[in-house]
Structure formats: structure tokens, C-alpha cells
């Protein structure tokens, strides 16, 4: 099968499309014929070993897993003997390491679910990463119902997920900050008001919020502090300059009424099922910026690394759905 592989850490150019062995599903696994995958910031961070400590998990000298990618949408091609929840021909989506390939084997109990019926494979592939990371990071400020929440970096993958989840799942009052080109799109996701970060600095408007969610890790707690209400919570998705966010989080546990927290995203099956339900009921929709062919992996990755994408970047893995009898 064709897959995007990288044998070493480095720039986008270490990625290439190669022929590799097709996985065989084990007892409790399903084999998914992948139609669409994505390039995420997690992919780029792990490939470049942006944070050197991630090598403790991914491989010290070279990557242990050579096939790239996490998000997938496709069709179940084969199932292991112990699989009960999926059948050959099911349309599925989810998260699994090594997903940017024509086939990926996924544990039935893993982060995989039936694809929302109203979405194409390309649209479905763009859902799990941003939505699940936003959901798990935002839970750190629960309960959120009726709270005023500002999302900074609202046009990114996590940001567009956060705005929709806050407005339509958590029932919070969302203010969003993004760049001029994304104001209209972000407004359509349920934000009560959208600030153009190139024209206005939200820390200087005098408005205060119960929660500030920095969905791109570009605004420090120190700069956001005055924009937080008493007992307000700041959450960042990033460790920050010199990894200071965990330290500030620890300090604010004991000093002052305003808290800083590090949002650590997690991928969980139960949450994917929740997101599927939100998509099926019209409360969540994928935001796609560009779609690339598998062979354009280097170009797609360079674009994602520019930090300028709106929502998600999709990879077209298989030309058209194969008929299943
Ligand atoms: N905590 C976790 O568990 C976890 C997991 C995965 C990833 N992450 C991190 O989460 C971050 C966001 O991921 P993502 O996939 O959502 O990113 P993304 O989609 O690449 O974010 C792109 C958006 O960021 C905005 N942006 C870029 N520079 C900005 C700046 N200086 N100020 C404000 N906005 C800026 C851009 O908006 P404009 O058009 O406004 O420039 C663009 O729309 C990444 O840093 C990633 O490493 C965290």
C-alpha cells in the first residue's frame, strides 16, 4: 500500500510517499481503507521533534513509527475475529497513529466511530483532532454554561473546534479573536462577537472574561491577566516560552484568585462518539482550508507549518469510494 513515511526527524522534506506492507488486522482490530487523512500541528510537531522530549515516546534517534498521520476517514475493509461493533463496509472516522496511508489497523476499542452520515470522507477526516483537543482542554474550566469565554487563535483547528463546542455544547457566551480574513467564518461558528486581532487588542478593550482559552499558545497569562474576571481561568494549549506555562499554572494554584492552566488534549473514544452526535445534530461542522493529494504531502505540511491555516488541511488518500457488496 502507499503511505506517507519518514525515517528521520527533520523538515517537511523528510516526508515521502512509499510502498509499505499493508497491515493485517489482529483479533480485536478493524482494517480501514483510508479515503482521507489530514496534516495537523501534532503531525508536524512530532515529525520535526519540535519539543525534543517527545523523542522519549516517539524514538530517541529516529522515529519508531515511520508512517505519518493521525486522522482518518474511510471504509472498513476487514475485521479481526473478536470484533463485534463494526462490519465490513462500515464508513468510519477517527484517530490512529500511522493514518496517512491507504490502510490503517485500528483497535475496535480505540478512537474510531461510525462516520457522521452527512459528511464526506474529506469532511469527516477533518473533525476528530481539533474537536477532541478543544473539548478536553476546555473541560479544565468546567462548568462553562453561561460563562463568558474568549478564544484566542479562533481560526485554527483547535480554535474553530473550541468556538463551536463552547457555543453549541457547553452553552457559553463566546468571544473569538482571529485575523481579518477569518472574521466572517469564525462568526458563523457561533461566536457572539469576533475581534479582529490585527485591528484590536482584546487586552486593551476593558472587557473581562471568566475564561480565556489561548488555542494557539501565543498569548501569555501575564498579558491576559487583566482581561480575566476575579477567579477567572486562563488555559493555554502550549507550554509557552521556556516552558513557563506549567510553572505559572503551579504558582497560580497558591497565589491570587486567577488561575493559569495547561490544556493537555486527549483523544478518547467516548468523546469521539459525543462529537459524532454533535455533527449528526447540526451542532458541529468541519472547517476545511485546503485539500491536497497524497503526493503533495511536503507542500501540505509546509502550509500547515506556516501557522496560517484556517481550520484543517485534508489529504485525499483514495480517489473514489470502492463499492462493497
Ligand atoms: N495541548 C495539546 O494537547 C496540543 C495538542 C496538539 C497541538 N497543540 C498545539 O496547539 C496549537 C494550535 O494547534 P492548531 O492545530 O489549532 O493550530 P493551527 O490550526 O495551525 O492554527 C492556525 C491559526 O493560528 C493563528 N495564529 C497564528 N499565529 C498567531 C498569533 N501570533 N496570534 C494569534 N493567532 C495566530 C492563525 O490565525 P491568524 O489567521 O489569526 O493568524 C491560524 O488561523 C499548536 O501550537 C500546537 O502545537 C497542543
The model carries a pTM of 0.95
Cα–Cα distance for residue pair 315/129, rounded to 1 Å: 14
Q: Whose CA is nearest to atom 23 of ligand 1?
A: 156
**324 has pLDDT over 70:** no
Q: What is the mean pLDDT of residues 53-61?
A: 91
Count, residues in the chain: 325
Tens digits of residue pLDDT in 149-178? 999 999 999 999 999 999 999 999 999 999
pLDDT computed for residue 320 by the predictor: 54
Whether 62 contacts 8, CB under 8 Å: yes
Q: Ligand 1: does its nearest atom lie under 6 Å from the Cβ of 71?
A: no
Mutate to test the pocket of ligand 1, among 158, 164, 309 (most ligand atoms within 8 A of CB): 158
Cα–Cα distance for residue pair 148/133, rounded to 1 Å: 20
**322 has pLDDT over 80:** no
Tens digits of residue pLDDT in 66-102? 999 999 999 999 999 999 999 999 999 999 999 999 9
What's the gap in Å between 217 CA and the centre of ligand 1?
7
Q: For residue 247, how many C-alpha atoms fall within 13 Å in the half-sphere facing its CB?
A: 7
Report which ligand 1 atom has the smallest distance to the Cα of 153.
34
Amino acid at each position: 500500500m502507499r503511505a506517507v513515511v519518514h525515517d528521520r526527524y527533520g523538515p517537511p522534506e523528510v516526508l515521502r510517499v512509499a510502498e509499505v506492507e499493508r497491515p493485517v488486522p489482529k483479533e480485536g482490530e478493524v482494517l480501514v481503507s483510508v479515503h482521507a487523512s489530514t496534516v495537523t500541528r501534532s503531525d508536524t510537531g512530532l515529525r520535526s521533534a519540535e519539543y525534543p522530549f517527545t523523542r522519549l515516546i516517539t524514538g530517541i534517534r529516529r522515529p519508531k513509527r515511520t508512517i505519518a498521520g493521525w486522522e482518518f476517514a474511510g471504509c472498513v475493509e476487514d475485521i479481526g475475529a473478536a470484533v463485534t461493533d463494526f462490519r465490513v463496509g462500515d464508513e468510519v472516522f477517527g484517530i490512529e497513529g500511522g493514518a496517512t496511508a491507504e490502510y490503517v489497523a485500528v483497535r475496535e476499542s480505540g478512537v474510531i466511530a461510525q462516520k457522521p452520515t452527512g459528511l464526506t470522507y474529506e469532511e469527516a477526516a477533518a473533525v476528530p483532532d481539533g474537536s477532541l483537543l478543544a473539548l478536553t482542554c476546555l473541560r479544565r474550566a468546567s462548568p462553562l454554561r453561561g460563562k463568558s469565554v474568549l478564544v484566542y487563535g479562533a481560526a485554527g483547528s483547535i480554535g474553530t473546534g473550541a468556538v463551536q463546542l463552547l457555543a453549541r455544547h457547553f452553552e457559553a457566551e463566546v468571544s473569538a479573536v482571529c485575523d481579518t480574513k477569518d472574521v466572517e467564518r469564525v462568526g458563523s461558528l457561533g461566536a457572539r462577537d469576533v475581534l479582529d486581532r490585527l485591528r484590536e487588542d482584546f487586552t486593551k478593550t476593558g472587557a473581562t472574561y471568566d475564561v480565556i482559552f489561548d488555542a494557539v499558545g501565543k498569548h501569555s497569562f501575564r498579558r491576559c491577566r487583566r482581561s480575566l474576571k476575579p477567579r477567572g481561568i486562563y488555559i493555554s494549549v502550549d507550554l509557552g516560552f521556556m516552558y513557563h506555562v506549567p510553572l505559572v499554572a503551579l504558582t497560580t494554584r497558591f497565589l491570587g484568585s486567577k488561575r493559569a492552566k495547561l490544556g493537555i488534549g486527549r483523544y478518547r473514544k467516548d468523546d469521539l462518539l459525543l462529537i459524532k452526535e454533535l455533527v449528526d445534530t447540526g451542532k458541529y461542522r468541519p472547517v476545511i482550508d485546503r485539500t491536497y493529494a497524497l503526493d503533495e504531502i511536503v507542500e501540505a505540511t509546509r502550509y500547515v507549518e506556516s501557522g496560517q491555516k484556517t481550520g484543517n488541511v485534508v489529504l485525499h488518500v483514495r480517489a473514489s469510494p470502492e463499492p462493497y457488496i
